[in-house]
């Protein structure tokens, strides 16, 4: 007989009619964002940046433009390059975070925002001045040192460049001592067991 | 000349104020403002006032309905619905309307301009005409036609023509699909729709909606459960509501017959559709739920009771729309001919026998049914309805060609595959 | 008097409310009945295969996110498995668990989208869709915790996943697992016994097992036709051989079976997720490889490279991968829509020499004509919805 399934369906919708809605009234309410959220505004610490342009090379779209000039002291003596241009074209960025992954000096971080509506395409380019002056609330994406400290860009205050690094890391020390890690394919079938190695867990 | 609208309060007041005189309107208290010979002007003015009130009420009702439908649908879907304009988004339909009015009014190049432009007018007209006989409260109706029920059916089927005109004149294949579906479906549904009301007419002995309300000492929903069901389903098909909304099935044929409409024309078509739901709920409330009569103070609170019942049916329509998917065209036709039509006929037959028995054989005032007799009829008709639905629900199941299922166990057991 | 009639040809799409993207169907109708269907695609062609040849192995990952954008995790997984085969590395156990967990959540999310839109195509005014999305939204919240993005996740990397799940992920997952059965039950109540859904989907668009196999169809469409074929069982990748789950199979291969199989698979996916959650051990999440530590100072002087440490040290996979020249790999997974595979060839450089994507949506789309001829316009939309194609994957 027609109708029982239909009546059941009607009951389900009625139940949901009484329940509170699950949607969010967006500008007033927000869903909680996780600290790992890959946001749009890119926290960049000039003090940490060496101008190595790893980020620019690693970006799949090639949308980071870096122009450097030599600073007062030569890099060999511990000085670093001056960053003249550091443009990120957000209009084409896909927020994959690979640039952040590539930065070896913890100078570049994903941001935490997502509301960058603009009327002009040019306005979507984040310039170096904007990066310098921005309030830096880095996302903890690919930055375990931030994640371990429990930092939440949506609640906590902005971080300065001393607070964001991972200097304690062992490989860093070793590299200072002049070592370089060279890759050689592992033997096939050499399955890694849990717990060994010195990788992050 | 005796204007046949003279029973109407608004009409009488305006007419007497302007043009009443001893010669042609003895029922007016005294002379009106206009000199003799200008009664026609008073007639027009009075008619215009009524039309003005009615059109505005219908469109305002449509606006409120749009808002409440969107809000309620959203709640059924666990959303919030429009809530930006005004408290609880109550001004949303006005914003929508403004947007539609500002939009460019496009008529396709290949369209038949005249027919294309006439469609929204005809649709709205059909709706407004049907409101003429609706009793909103005691003594509050435009006209008490003695063929009221027939009139509703006749007027509301005008929208079929409008739909076909829209589909044909748009010169659009999707619109044509919608129109062809519409013609096939709407004409089929007219038949059970008319037949479902015959039972009511038999009981009341009159087609006037006012007498229908007055005869309802017991709501006809109970006395005529089959009739009410068939009328409800039929009218929701006439209104293109889910599960019968194949005319404008947006996932299949974009927007069906009004694919090419935009701007104010689209707004009018929408308004006619939305107000159509209100009108249908109003007729359902009038014919099957006793219209203005309520548990108490039916005289003073008539409009209130009417609105409560109307809101109940509107709510039911929205609830159904929120829950059900739509049927396919052949299933819809099968539903009309194999399910609704037999039910309507059974209802007709059973009611005719009952009316003959109670009305004439029983010996009290011939042709009138007492309250007790109506209760007995309800007690008989509800089981009859359930049995009939049970029987015909089975018959109307679609028989589709079923290719034999092929079972073939070709899957090798896991782990025997070679990994490259 | 006979009225002369003639068939009508309509282009349904590329802009149409329910072609699931920019698919165009050239359909010839005789009245409402379909005489001929010809899917025309390519409107979303982005040249992913060619673009992959210009990007290094990790950068290609971001392209895979955009193939089937409602199931990015499984795309990531298929690609990573291909690259891992080429390199000869294997992801550590915890990494594999996380991958399977994410992939199964993604499967549930993708099937929910498919179900919701199928019902939308049936004409249910967004209600089942909203219920499905309410569930999916919770899964996407978990993805945001895992990797900071909801749709284009880029979560996995060759050799594991990019990073471990944050500590607050696990309680959130527990919450979801508690809620999920209710949400699914509600969906089933709304749809499974609904007479209108039944008459619209049962025995409509029947795909026999033979023709399903002959057309190389895979995924739920194949299983709905009664063929128990699932790469997770047939060729277990990652840790699927450690997990217990069933492969739901349909009986007739009609729209209803496809829809049912998907709902059942959501349940199975949640079962897998539960097992993963219970069994996962702490450990590394990204593969280590043997490496040599080399003295940079000596190298700069041009002297022979001498290992700094005795024997090999363990190091993470580097950013820029260089599989040996001539290496080939075919990495396949059971994606929500079917068998998704990447065929990679290396020429020893940092970018793949060739990247071929075997996309299930495209191949499942080929049976469309067989399913549709003789049915009505309304069935066409539903059948298309039940095949569950994704134009990002069809056109690539
Ligand atoms: S997030 Fe991705 S696309 Fe955007 S700048 Fe960084 S690497 Fe490029
Ligand atoms: S942000 Fe990082 S990767 Fe980019 S130039 Fe600066 S140090 Fe190098």
SS3 per residue for B6-22: CCCHHHHHHHHHHHCCC
pLDDT confidence of residue A3: 66
Rg (CA), chain A: 23
Mutate to test the interface with B, among C16, C32, C210 (most CBs of B within 10 A): C32
Q: Using CB atoms, which residue from C61, C294, C297 is nearest to A182?
A: C294
Nearest protein Cα to ligand 1, atom 2: A96
Distance C157 CA to ligand 1 centre (A): 16
Q: Are C146 and C93 in contact (CB under 8 A)?
A: no
A-chain residues within 8 Å CB-CB of B386?
none
User: Residue C345 burial by CB count (10 A; 0-12/13-18/19+): exposed, middle or buried?
Assistant: middle
User: Residue B188 burial by CB count (10 A; 0-12/13-18/19+): exposed, middle or buried?
Assistant: buried
Nearest protein Cα to ligand 2, atom 2: A103
Domain that holds residue B309: 103-395
Q: Chain A contact for B394, CB < 8 A?
A: yes
Among the listed residues B269, B263, B273, B271, the one whose alpha carbon sits nearest the alpha carbon of residue B108? B263
* pLDDT of A184 higher than 80: no
Looking at residue A123, which CATH number applies to its domain? 3.30.70.3270
Q: Which two tokens stand for residue B234?
A: 């039929």
How far lies C37's CA from each of A190, B153, B248, B366, C10, in Å? 52, 41, 22, 65, 10
The rounded distance, in Å, linking the Cα atoms of B220 and B206 is: 14
Are B293 and B381 within one domain? yes
Q: Are C267 and C184 in contact (CB under 8 A)?
A: yes
Query: Is B95 inside any structural domain?
Result: no
How far lies B384's CA from each of B343, B346, B351, in Å? 10, 9, 11
Among the listed residues B26, B218, B265, the one whose alpha carbon sits nearest the alpha carbon of residue B124? B265
Which residue out of A66, A81, A142 has the highest number of ligand 2 atoms within 8 Å of its CB and is therefore the one to mutate? A66
A152-191: burial string, b at 16+ Cβ within 10 Å, e else: bbeeeeebebeebbeeeeeeeebeeeebbbebebbeeeee
Query: Is B418 inside any structural domain?
Result: no
Cβ–Cβ below 8 Å for A33 and C92: no
Are B302 and B384 within one domain? yes
Q: Which two tokens stand for residue C247?
A: 């492969």
What total number of domains does chain A contain? 1
Mutate to test the interface with C, among B180, B401, B406 (most CBs of C within 10 A): B406
Q: Are B7 and B38 in contact (CB under 8 A)?
A: no
Q: Using CB atoms, which residue from C191, C196, C287 is nearest to A192?
A: C287
Are B245 and B364 within one domain? yes
Query: Is B273 inside any structural domain?
Result: yes
Query: According to the 3-state scheme, what is the secondary structure of chain B?
Result: CCCCCCCCHHHHHHHHHHHCCCCCCCCCCCCCCCCCCCHHHHHHHHHHHHHHHHHHHHHHHHHHHHHHHHHHHHHHCCCCCCCCCCHHHCCHHHHHHHHHHHCCCCCCCCCCHHHHHHHHHHHHHHHHHHHCCCCCECCECCCCCCCHHHHHHHHHCHHHHHHHHHHHHCCCHHHHHHHHHHHHHHHHHHHHHHHHHHHHHHHHCCCCHHHHHHHCCCCHHHHCHHHHHHHHHHHHHHCCCCCCCHHHCHHHHCCHHHCCCCHHHHHHHHHHHHHHHHHHHHHHHHHHHCCCCCCCCCCCCHHHHHHHHHHHHHHHHHHHHHHCCCCCHHHHHHHHHHHHHHHHHHHHHHHHHHHHHHHHHCCCCCCCCCHHHHHHHHHHHHHHHHHHHHHHHHHCCCCCCCCCCCCCCCCCCCCCCCCC
Q: Using CB atoms, which residue from B322, B400, B411 is nearest to C203?
A: B400
Which residue out of A37, A62, A95, A102 has the highest number of ligand 1 atoms within 8 Å of its CB and is therefore the one to mutate? A95
pLDDT confidence of residue B25: 61
Q: Tens digit of pLDDT for each residue in C350-386?
A: 888 888 898 888 888 888 888 888 888 888 888 888 8
Are B150 and B11 within one domain? no
Cβ–Cβ below 8 Å for A38 and C291: no
pLDDT confidence of residue B412: 40
Q: Which domains does chain C have, with CATH numbers?
A: 38-360 (1.10.645.10)
Query: Is A8 inside any structural domain?
Result: no
Are B126 and B249 within one domain? yes
Q: Chain A contact for B30, CB < 8 A?
A: no
Ligand 1 atom with the smallest distance to the CA of A94 is: 3
Average pLDDT, chain C: 83
Cβ–Cβ below 8 Å for A17 and B79: no
What count of CB pairs under 8 Å joins B to C? Answer: 128
Domain that holds residue A94: 33-179
C-chain residues within 8 Å CB-CB of B81?
none
Query: Is A158 inside any structural domain?
Result: yes
Are B117 and B239 within one domain? yes
CB atoms within 10 A of CB A48: 16
The rounded distance, in Å, linking the Cα atoms of C369 and C360 is: 17
Q: Chain A contact for B76, CB < 8 A?
A: yes
Least confident of B35-44, B238-247, C132-141, C223-232: B35-44
Chain A touching partners, 3 or more CB pairs below 8 A: B, C
pLDDT confidence of residue B402: 40
Query: Is A62 inside any structural domain?
Result: yes
Are B171 and B296 within one domain? yes
Cis peptide before B397 (omega within 30 of 0): no
Only one residue has tokens 């939309």, namely: C381
Are B109 and B39 within one domain? no
CB atoms within 10 A of CB B201: 18
ipTM greater than 0.85? no
Ligand 2 atom with the smallest distance to the CA of A53 is: 5
Are B9 and B107 within one domain? no
What total number of domains does chain B contain? 2
- The residues, any chain, with a CB within 8 Å of residue B24's CB and separated by 6 or more, are B1, B2, B39
How far lies B203's CA from each of B151, B212, B227, B286, B293, in Å? 18, 9, 12, 15, 18
B217 HSE (CA, 13 A, CB side): 12
Among the listed residues B183, B159, B184, the one whose alpha carbon sits nearest the alpha carbon of residue B239? B159
Mutate to test the interface with C, among A194, A196, A198, A200 (most CBs of C within 10 A): A194
What count of CB pairs under 8 Å joins A to B? Answer: 44
Q: Tens digit of pLDDT for each residue in A107-159?
A: 888 888 888 888 988 888 888 888 888 888 888 888 888 887 878 888 877 77
Query: Is A156 inside any structural domain?
Result: yes
CB atoms within 10 A of CB B216: 23
A-chain residues within 8 Å CB-CB of C238?
none
pLDDT confidence of residue C348: 80
Q: Are B199 and B319 in contact (CB under 8 A)?
A: no
User: Residue C136 burial by CB count (10 A; 0-12/13-18/19+): exposed, middle or buried?
Assistant: buried
Which residue out of A38, A43, A53, A98 has the highest number of ligand 1 atoms within 8 Å of its CB and is therefore the one to mutate? A98
Are B13 and B117 within one domain? no
Only one residue has tokens 């009420």, namely: B57
**Residue C242 binned pLDDT confidence (cut-offs 50, 70, 90):** confident
Give the closest-approach CA distance of C152 to chain A in angstroms: 8
Residues lining ligand 2, Cβ inside 6 A: A 49-55, 66, 102-103, 105, 107-108
pLDDT confidence of residue B1: 41
Q: Tens digit of pLDDT for each residue in A47-81?
A: 778 788 888 888 888 888 888 887 666 656 656 67
pLDDT confidence of residue B365: 62
Q: What is the mean pLDDT of each run of 10 residues along chain B (420 residues)?
A: 59 72 62 69 78 84 87 86 83 87 86 88 86 77 80 86 88 86 88 87 83 80 85 86 80 82 87 87 86 74 82 88 84 84 88 79 64 78 81 60 38 39
Query: Is A17 inside any structural domain?
Result: no
pLDDT confidence of residue A173: 55
**pTM for the whole thing?**
0.84
The rounded distance, in Å, linking the Cα atoms of C274 and C270 is: 6
Query: Is A7 inside any structural domain?
Result: no
Share of chain C above pLDDT 70, in %: 93
pLDDT confidence of residue A2: 60
Q: Tens digit of pLDDT for each residue in C176-193?
A: 888 888 888 888 888 777
pLDDT confidence of residue B290: 80
């Amino acid at each position: 007989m027609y109708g029982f399934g239909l009546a059941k369906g009607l009951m389900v919708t009625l139940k949901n009619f009484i329940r509170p809605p699950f949607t969010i009234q967006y500008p007033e309410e927000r869903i909680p964002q996780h600290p790992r959220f890959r946001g749009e505004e890119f926290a960049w610490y000039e003090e940490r940046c060496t101008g190595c342009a790893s980020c620019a090379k690693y970006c799949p779209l090639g949308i980071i433009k870096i122009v450097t000039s030599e600073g007062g002291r030569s890099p060999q003596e511990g000085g670093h390059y001056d960053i003249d241009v550091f443009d990120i074209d957000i209009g084409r960025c896909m927020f994959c975070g690979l640039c952040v992954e590539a930065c070896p000096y913890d100078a570049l971080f994903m941001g935490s925002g997502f509301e960058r509506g603009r009327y002009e395409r040019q306005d979507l380019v984040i310039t170096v001045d904007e990066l310098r002056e921005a309030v830096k609330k880095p996302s903890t994406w690919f930055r375990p040192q931030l994640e371990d400290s429990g930092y939440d860009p949506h609640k906590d205050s902005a971080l300065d460049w001393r607070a964001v690094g991972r200097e304690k890391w062992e490989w860093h020390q070793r590299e200072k001592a002049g070592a370089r890690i060279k890759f050689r394919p592992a033997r096939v079938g050499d399955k890694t067991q849990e717990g060994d190695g010195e990788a992050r867990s | 000349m005796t204007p046949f609208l003279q029973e109407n309060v608004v009409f009488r007041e305006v007419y007497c104020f302007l043009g009443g005189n001893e010669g042609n309107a003895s029922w007016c208290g005294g002379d009106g403002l206009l000199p003799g010979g200008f009664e026609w002007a008073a007639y027009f003015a009075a008619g215009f006032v009524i039309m003005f009130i009615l059109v505005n009420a219908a469109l305002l009702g449509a606006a409120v309905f749009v808002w409440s439908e969107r809000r309620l649908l959203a709640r059924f879907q666990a959303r919030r619905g429009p809530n930006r304009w005004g408290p609880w988004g109550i001004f949303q339909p006005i914003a929508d309307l403004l947007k539609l009015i500002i939009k460019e009014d496009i008529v396709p190049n290949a369209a038949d301009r005249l027919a294309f432009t006439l469609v929204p007018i005809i649709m709205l007209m059909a709706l407004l005409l049907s409101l003429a006989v609706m009793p909103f409260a005691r003594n509050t109706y435009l006209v008490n036609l003695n063929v009221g029920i027939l009139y509703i059916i006749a007027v509301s089927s005008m929208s079929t023509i409008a739909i076909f005109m829209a589909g044909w004149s748009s010169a659009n294949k999707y619109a044509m699909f919608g129109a062809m579906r519409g013609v096939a479906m709407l004409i089929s549904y007219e038949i059970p729709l008319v037949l479902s009301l015959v039972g009511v007419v038999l009981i009341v002995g009159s087609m006037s909606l006012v007498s229908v309300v007055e005869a309802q000492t017991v709501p006809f929903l109970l006395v005529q459960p089959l009739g009410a069901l068939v009328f409800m389903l039929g009218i929701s098909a006439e209104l293109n509501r889910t599960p019968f909304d194949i005319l404008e099935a947006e996932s299949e044929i974009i927007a069906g017959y009004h694919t090419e409409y935009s701007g104010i024309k689209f707004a009018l078509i929408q308004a006619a559709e939305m107000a159509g739901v209100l009108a249908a709920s109003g007729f359902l409330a009038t014919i099957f739920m006793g219209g203005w009569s309520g548990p108490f103070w039916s005289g003073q609170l008539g409009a209130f009771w009417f609105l409560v019942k109307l809101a109940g049916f509107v709510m039911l329509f929205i609830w159904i729309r929120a829950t059900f998917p739509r049927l396919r065209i052949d299933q819809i036709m099968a539903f009309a001919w194999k399910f609704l039509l037999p039910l309507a006929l059974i209802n007709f037959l059973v009611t005719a026998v009952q009316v003959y028995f109670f009305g004439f054989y029983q010996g009290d005032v011939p042709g009138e049914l007492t309250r007790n007799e109506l209760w007995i009829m309800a007690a008989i008709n509800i089981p009859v309805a359930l049995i009939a639905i049970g029987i015909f629900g089975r018959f109307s199941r679609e028989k589709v060609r079923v290719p034999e299922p092929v079972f073939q166990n070709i899957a090798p057991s896991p782990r025997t595959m070679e990994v490259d | 008097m006979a009225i002369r009639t003639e068939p009508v040809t309509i282009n349904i799409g590329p802009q149409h409310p329910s072609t699931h993207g920019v698919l165009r169907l050239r359909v010839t109708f005789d009245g409402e009945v379909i005489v001929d269907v010809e899917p025309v695609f390519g409107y979303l062609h982005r040249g992913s295969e060619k673009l992959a040849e210009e990007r290094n192995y990790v950068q290609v990952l971001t392209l895979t996110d955009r193939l089937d954008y409602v199931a990015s995790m499984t795309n990531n997984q298929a690609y990573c498995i291909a690259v891992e085969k080429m390199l000869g590395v294997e992801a550590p156990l915890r990494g594999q668990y996380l991958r399977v967990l994410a992939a199964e959540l993604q499967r549930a999310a993708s099937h929910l989208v498919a179900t919701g839109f199928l019902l939308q195509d049936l004409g249910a005014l967004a209600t089942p869709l909203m219920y499905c999305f309410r569930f999916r939204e919770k899964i996407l919240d978990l993805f945001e915790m895992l990797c900071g993005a909801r749709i284009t996740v880029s979560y996995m990397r060759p050799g594991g996943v990019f990073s471990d799940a944050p500590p607050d992920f696990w309680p959130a997952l527990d919450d979801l697992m508690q809620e999920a059965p209710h949400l699914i039950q509600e969906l089933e109540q709304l749809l499974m016994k609904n007479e209108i859904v039944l008459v619209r989907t049962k025995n409509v668009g029947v795909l026999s097992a033979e023709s399903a196999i002959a057309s190389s169809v895979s995924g739920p469409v194949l299983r709905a036709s009664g063929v128990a074929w699932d790469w997770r069982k047939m060729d277990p990748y990652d840790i699927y051989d450690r997990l217990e789950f069933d492969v739901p199979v349909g009986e007739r291969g009609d729209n209803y079976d496809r829809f049912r199989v998907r709902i059942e698979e959501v349940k199975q996916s949640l079962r897998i997720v539960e097992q993963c959650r219970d069994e996962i051990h702490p450990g590394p999440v990204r593969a280590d490889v043997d490496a040599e530590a080399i003295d940079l100072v000596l190298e700069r002087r041009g002297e022979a490279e001498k290992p700094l440490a005795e024997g090999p040290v363990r190091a993470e996979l580097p950013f820029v991968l260089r599989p040996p020249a001539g290496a080939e790999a075919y990495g396949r997974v059971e994606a929500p829509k079917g068998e998704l595979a990447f065929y990679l060839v290396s020429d020893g450089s940092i970018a793949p020499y060739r990247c071929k994507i075997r996309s299930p949506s495209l191949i499942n789309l080929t049976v469309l004509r067989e399913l549709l001829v003789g049915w009505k316009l309304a069935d066409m939309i539903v059948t298309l919805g039940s095949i569950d194609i994704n134009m990002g994957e069809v056109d690539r």
